[in-house]
Amino acid sequence: MKNSKNKQTLEQRLNKIRAGVLGSNDGILTVVGVLFSTAAATSNNFLILVAGFSDLLSCAFSMAAGEYASVSAQREIERAVIKIEQRKIDRDKNYARKTIARNYISWGVNRETAYFIADELIQKHEIESLVSAKYTLKIGEYVNPWGAAFSSLISAALGGLFPLLAMLLLPS
């Protein structure tokens, strides 16, 4: 079941927020670090500003690339897990039933009810029910690496602007 382009899961929204927080934090800290270290080497405000702006750009793109790579890896792992679980289902016709029931039993559901729930779930959507119960994954609702990358890019750039603006607007 795929979600529409306008509706995002909580996990997808949290992933963008996480990337944004990390990006803004990195933008602020790296630009401040470059501004201070450049100011220690020269008193030329233009050179300090150029170094800070260069760092802001490289930080923003580096954060975006890192987020894209990280979230892409997570997405591929999620897809691989689903393939592995499908192979296990293909090898053992009771695998999904046992795994789902075990999951419900671990949540405190009695054995008979757990197997009843498992039977109901696998009758409708076996692989979807299995990966949902075992990993809380929903097939087709994978985290978006582009969303995390853009969130990190924008927030790192905005975060890095604060120390640059402070340098420009505050007196020497």
How is the chain split into domains, by residue range?
A: 10-139+147-169
Provide mean pLDDT across the span 133-157. 89
148 near 19, Cβ under 8 Å? Answer: yes
pTM of the predicted model over 0.85: no
Q: Indicate the average pLDDT of the chain.
A: 90
Q: Count Cβ atoms below 10 Å from residue 83 Cβ, excluding itself.
A: 10
Residue 29 has pLDDT above 90, yes or no: yes
92/83 Cα distance (integer angstroms): 14
Structural element, H or E, at residue 3 = none
Provide mean pLDDT across the span 17-26. 91
Provide mean pLDDT across the span 4-29. 83
pLDDT grade for 143, boundaries at 50, 70 and 90: confident
DSSP 93: T
Tokens 């803004």 correspond to 24
172/170 Cα distance (integer angstroms): 7
Percent of the chain residues topping a pLDDT of 90: 72
Structural element, H or E, at residue 142 = none
